[in-house]
Structure 1
Amino acid sequence: MSISLRDCIRKRREEKDDERMMFIFPTLYLMGFAREGGVKKKRHTSEETGEVKVRRLLEGYVKNCQVTFRMEPHIFKEVATYLRRKRFIVDTRITVEEKLGFFLYMLSRNASYEDLAVTFGHSNDTFHCHINHFFNKVIPTLSRRFLQSPNPNQVHPKILENPRYYPFFKNCLGAIDGTHIPVSISPEKHSPFKNRKGTLSINMMVACDFDLNITFISSGWEGSVTDSRVLRSAMSKDFQVPPSKFYLVDGGYANIPSFLAPYRGVRYHLKEFGARHRRPQNSKELFNHHHALLRNHVERTLSRFLLTTTATKKKPSPKCSGAKRSADSPRGHLAEGTNNFTSIESQCVEEPLHQIDDVEDGAQAKEETLQEIHEIHDEEDGEKDARDEQEEARSGQ
């Protein structure tokens, strides 16, 4: 028997099997449906609706509201009243209080749509619609109204009051780093979300100031995307750095204007300058050490952020169909896009800020900064040696 004939017979058998299955599965379903009396069971049978449950928590014991929504009842009511008065959220068959309630419940407990369905008694499509409205409309509007952008012309006290950093880092606004957030997605879409460790994640970029406050977030990129690509994407949208200012970044980013990276091939991490290691031996190591001390703020911020989310996490992240889902996809509630808390006013301006043309080259500016840092530390070391000699002379007398 020829190979082509054998393939034709196999293909015909597979088609017959498919036709048989298309007949068997509906038959089995109808038989089970008839066995149950021909009546479809309702999923949400609780007499206490979501609206009643939210009202009970707001009017009951204060601690119950704090545990459920991470908010006191009077604050919850004030927020709901404000959202209703400004028409950011309107009453439909679901009240404003219930919409705000399941949104806060999701945030405080890392709840999936299935958890919300069990607790509040609505479909996944309903939760998807309202939660995306919060993320896409309500949160950006509230951030523009209430978050005050810092003044970039003011030097942060931690830099101003420390001779290690001032005046060398006086134009530094903060630090930037990336982190990976685990996700669970359908198997056919695993490939772009696999990071270098082989796990599934999204790559999130975070910028923070020296008070450990997050000032900018860009999330939604697949785990296989590099940190530099996420930064370029954020810059092409609404992440703007004022002229002559810069952020500290690690070796995963390029050393370009507005973003200062450490020297490559030189000791950098703080553990390499620990008690059992040598002090900085040259200007490059000295610069990297001070750079690492300041950039450590973003690592502390991320640690605190991840610790907070882990404390409320009870299971793996909700399923999502991809980092860039269509609006009609009800699977998961992955927060996408960017959230800018630094350039609030710039979001309302049609023309974005532009870098000035006479910004010094990054490498040249770094060399000058290194020289100044080295000179001031030489002076400090000289003063220390003089004090030691004086103490030795007194002890000899």
Structure 2
Amino acid sequence: MDERDNHLFLLIKVWRIYVHTLVCFAAIQVYLFEYERRRSERRNLGNRTFSRLQIRSIEIQRITRASDTNCIWELRMDRNAFVMSCELLKTLGGLLDDGNVTIEEQVATFVHILAHHVKNRSIQVRFYRSGETISRYVHRVLLALLRLEDLLFVKPTPIPDDCMDSRWRWFKFVYVLSGWEGSSTDSRVLRDAINRQNGLKVPYGNYYLANAGYTNGQGFLAPYRGTRYHLQEWEDFDRAPRNHEEYFNMKHLQARNIIERCFGLLKKRWVVLRSSSFYPIRFQGRMVIACALLHNFIRMYMDVDPEEYTPITLEVANWGRHTK
């Protein structure tokens, strides 16, 4: 009986060892399977990350390096001007390459938003970036660009009568005041611009042309009121002026048409200025200044402005005529 008990005890002991071995083997198999699964996920994640980096790099190169045509279509400037803008924003504007987003991608994203008025989510799809990343770097580029106001806002200089440069009509902006409500009167906005500490300054002995919404004053010249002025008024009568007031208004209008065309080119170049924006109001005001600065930059660093040779549609010319 004792011998049978010993055999039974040994059999149970062997069976327990066998079961424990199977359990350990199964646990090892589960661990190895889970380890391999996580390793595969990390590998796939790395492949997806590499794929995103590759697609993003290809997209940036296609826009900024493939051809001047692509660069002008997407960013409104040629490749040389784009490189110059990145260098200026880096050296003078303080824009940094933190290793996550290159300066070229930061600038291209910002300018693309101004040129095409696209939403944050559209940029996410195109450049494989999160909305927070896009917003953060767009604000960085905007602040860096605003630091270049002293460089890009030109100093007004009179044009001599014997000027032979055909680009004298390439007017540039000297000052921009944004943020006023559209219902504000013209004189109130002008008064605010003049009275600011770093506001609009009129060079001594010169003047700015103003429309009939303003009054004549030191540094500002408005047309005669009650005298024909606009083109449709000249078409109803003989085109020759009949007195000195009409002659003055005709010359005033001819000069102002060039200025109006400059605003038309600005809105034609930057689609973000043509319609209601979906960005915060403070950001909208700064975007107007940024558009003027980039407009001046393009006219400084490009020998040929492609917008000069394409017609301005009536919709673009009339949009925002009375906005501040």
CA deviations 1:134-191 (Å, max 9, x no partner) are 333x22433434665344xxx4235x68xxxxxxxxxxxxxxxxxxxxxxxxxxxxxx
Measured in 2, the distance between the counterparts of 1:302 and 1:146 equals 17
State whether residues 97 and 103 of structure 2, in contact with CA within 8 Å, keep that contact through their aligned partners in structure 1: yes
State whether residues 218 and 339 of structure 1, in contact with CA within 8 Å, keep that contact through their aligned partners in structure 2: no
**In the alignment, what sits opposite 1:133?**
140
**In the alignment, what sits opposite 1:269?**
230
- Say whether residues 1:212 and 2:171 are aligned partners: yes
State whether residues 179 and 285 of structure 2, in contact with CA within 8 Å, keep that contact through their aligned partners in structure 1: no
Measured in 1, the distance between the counterparts of 2:134 and 2:128 equals 10
State whether residues 178 and 285 of structure 2, in contact with CA within 8 Å, keep that contact through their aligned partners in structure 1: no
Residue 262 of structure 1 aligns with an amino acid whose one-letter code is P
Residue 216 of structure 1 aligns with an amino acid whose one-letter code is Y
Q: Pick from 228, 231, 255 the counterpart of residue 294 of structure 1.
A: 255
The CA deviation at 1:250 is 0.7
The CA deviation at 1:87 is 6.8
**In the alignment, what sits opposite 1:225?**
184
CA deviations 1:236-288 (Å, max 9, x no partner) are 33210012221110111122111111122222223322374363333322322
Q: Pick from 121, 130, 149 the counterpart of residue 155 of structure 2.
A: 149
Alignment of 1:1-397 (within 5 A): 47-49=51-53, 51-57=56-62, 61-62=66-67, 63-73=69-79, 76-77=82-83, 79-81=85-87, 83-85=89-91, 88-92=94-98, 93-136=100-143, 138-145=144-151, 149-151=155-157, 155-158=158-161, 211-237=170-196, 238-274=199-235, 276-277=237-238, 279-309=240-270, 316-322=275-281, 325=282, 335=287
CA deviations 1:63-99 (Å, max 9, x no partner) are 5445433445565445435544557111223222221
SS of the aligned residue for 1:221 comes to coil
Task: Decide whether aligned partners of structure 1 residues 255 and 333 sit closer, same or farther in structure 2, where only a CA change above 3 A counts.
Answer: closer
SS of the aligned residue for 1:219 comes to coil
What is the root-mean-square deviation of aligned Cα atoms in Å?
3.7
State whether residues 74 and 112 of structure 2, in contact with CA within 8 Å, keep that contact through their aligned partners in structure 1: yes
Measured in 1, the distance between the counterparts of 2:291 and 2:62 equals 31
State whether residues 89 and 95 of structure 2, in contact with CA within 8 Å, keep that contact through their aligned partners in structure 1: yes
Measured in 2, the distance between the counterparts of 1:66 and 1:333 equals 25
Measured in 2, the distance between the counterparts of 1:210 and 1:261 equals 21
Can you give the 5+ residue segments of structure 1 that lack an aligned partner in the other structure? 1-44, 162-208, 342-397
- Greater Rg over alpha carbons, structure: 2
Higher mean displacement: 122-131 or 216-225: 122-131
Number of aligned pairs?
Answer: 236
Residue 48 of structure 1 aligns with an amino acid whose one-letter code is R
Measured in 1, the distance between the counterparts of 2:180 and 2:115 equals 24
Task: Decide whether aligned partners of structure 1 residues 113 and 61 sit closer, same or farther in structure 2, where only a CA change above 3 A counts.
Answer: same
**In the alignment, what sits opposite 1:360?**
none
Task: Decide whether aligned partners of structure 1 residues 77 and 54 sit closer, same or farther in structure 2, where only a CA change above 3 A counts.
Answer: farther
CA deviations 1:346-380 (Å, max 9, x no partner) are xxxxxxxxxxxxxxxxxxxxxxxxxxxxxxxxxxx
State whether residues 229 and 246 of structure 2, in contact with CA within 8 Å, keep that contact through their aligned partners in structure 1: yes
State whether residues 212 and 300 of structure 1, in contact with CA within 8 Å, keep that contact through their aligned partners in structure 2: no
SS of the aligned residue for 2:175 comes to strand
What TM-score comes out, normalization by structure 2 length? Answer: 0.59
State whether residues 247 and 258 of structure 1, in contact with CA within 8 Å, keep that contact through their aligned partners in structure 2: yes
State whether residues 241 and 258 of structure 1, in contact with CA within 8 Å, keep that contact through their aligned partners in structure 2: yes
State whether residues 211 and 223 of structure 2, in contact with CA within 8 Å, keep that contact through their aligned partners in structure 1: yes
Measured in 1, the distance between the counterparts of 2:292 and 2:200 equals 7
SS of the aligned residue for 2:183 comes to coil
Measured in 1, the distance between the counterparts of 2:135 and 2:124 equals 11
State whether residues 217 and 339 of structure 1, in contact with CA within 8 Å, keep that contact through their aligned partners in structure 2: no
Task: Decide whether aligned partners of structure 1 residues 333 and 130 sit closer, same or farther in structure 2, where only a CA change above 3 A counts.
Answer: farther
What TM-score comes out, normalization by structure 1 length? Answer: 0.49
Residue 108 of structure 1 aligns with an amino acid whose one-letter code is A
Measured in 1, the distance between the counterparts of 2:252 and 2:231 equals 10
Residue 232 of structure 1 aligns with an amino acid whose one-letter code is R
CA deviations 1:195-243 (Å, max 9, x no partner) are xxxxxxxxxxxxxx85433333322222212222222222233210012
Task: Decide whether aligned partners of structure 1 residues 82 and 277 sit closer, same or farther in structure 2, where only a CA change above 3 A counts.
Answer: closer
- Percent identity between matched residues is 28
CA deviations 1:298-337 (Å, max 9, x no partner) are 1222233333345x99x94431343xx3x7xxxx686256
